[in-house]
Every structure is written in structure tokens, then in C-alpha cells.
């Protein structure tokens, strides 16, 4: 599981600001459930929930990237997850932030 600062680093690189409330909401069950917390809100419904709570497209994208970073971390581990995430982002394997669009489906 990537640590909270990893998600904040992605926020700073892509958006130039932090979305602590997004990460706190998505990971609210993490302390009690460990990685199993991802069964809650780590899907398209979670991204939509963030958008409706915050009415902010960038916050919805932050939620989307939070979930994608978790998936990348599961593949490569915490030592390389940010580097691999950014490599995939720069090569458009992960969709680029578009402030005029809701994030794409995670499926």
C-alpha cells in the first residue's frame, strides 16, 4: 500500500496542490482493514462519490489517480510505484488530466 505522502506527491506533480480530503476519504478504513479497505470506494463509484462531495473535477481525477497508484504499487511495490506511475502517465498509458472531463472508467 503506498503511503499517504506518495499520493500527495502525485497530486503535487499533476495538479500543483494536495487533495488530502480525497485520500483520507478513500483510505478511511485502511487502519482497521489494511489492504482489504480497497474493497470500499476504490472503484468508479468512489471517484463519483468524491466528485459529488467536492464538486471538483480535479478532486475526482485525484481519486482516480489514487486508485491507479494503488494498482501500480501492487504490481511493482512501493520503491518503484511513483516512477512507474509517472512513466506510464508520460507515455499516456494512464490517461492525462483533462480539467474538462470526468475521469475515465477504471475498468
- Rounded Cα–Cα distance for residues 92 and 104 (Å): 13
The three three-digit cell numbers of residue 50, written as one number: 468524491
- Rounded Cα–Cα distance for residues 83 and 80 (Å): 5
Handedness of CA 67, 98, 4, 30 (dihedral sign): negative
Q: Determine, yes or no, domain membership for 97.
A: no
Would you state the pLDDT for residue 29? 60
Q: Determine, yes or no, domain membership for 66.
A: yes
Q: Determine, yes or no, domain membership for 106.
A: no
Structural domain span for residue 83: 4-90
4: exposed, middle or buried (C-beta count within 10 Å: 0-12, 13-18, 19+)? middle
Q: Return the minimum-mean-pLDDT range out of 44-48, 81-85, 96-100.
A: 44-48
Q: Determine, yes or no, domain membership for 49.
A: yes
- Rounded Cα–Cα distance for residues 82 and 72 (Å): 8
Q: Determine, yes or no, domain membership for 100.
A: no
DSSP single-letter state for residue 34: G
pLDDT of 69 over the 90 cut: yes
Q: pTM here?
A: 0.92
Q: Over pLDDT 70: what percentage of the chain?
A: 86
Would you state the pLDDT for residue 42? 75
Q: How many domains does the chain have?
A: 1
Q: Determine, yes or no, domain membership for 73.
A: yes
φ, ψ of residue 55 in degrees (nearest 5) = 45, 55
Q: Determine, yes or no, domain membership for 103.
A: no
Q: Determine, yes or no, domain membership for 99.
A: no
Amino acid at each position: 500500500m503506498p503511503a499517504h505522502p506518495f499520493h500527495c506527491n502525485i497530486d503535487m506533480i499533476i495538479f500543483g496542490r494536495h487533495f488530502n480530503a480525497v485520500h483520507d476519504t478513500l483510505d478511511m478504513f485502511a487502519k482497521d482493514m489494511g489492504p482489504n479497505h480497497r474493497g470500499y470506494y476504490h472503484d468508479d463509484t468512489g471517484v463519483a462519490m468524491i466528485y459529488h462531495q467536492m464538486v471538483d473535477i480535479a478532486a475526482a481525477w485525484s481519486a482516480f489517480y489514487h486508485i491507479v497508484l494503488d494498482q501500480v504499487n501492487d504490481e511493482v511495490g512501493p520503491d518503484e510505484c511513483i516512477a512507474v506511475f509517472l512513466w506510464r502517465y508520460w507515455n499516456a498509458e494512464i490517461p492525462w488530466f483533462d480539467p474538462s472531463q470526468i475521469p475515465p472508467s477504471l475498468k
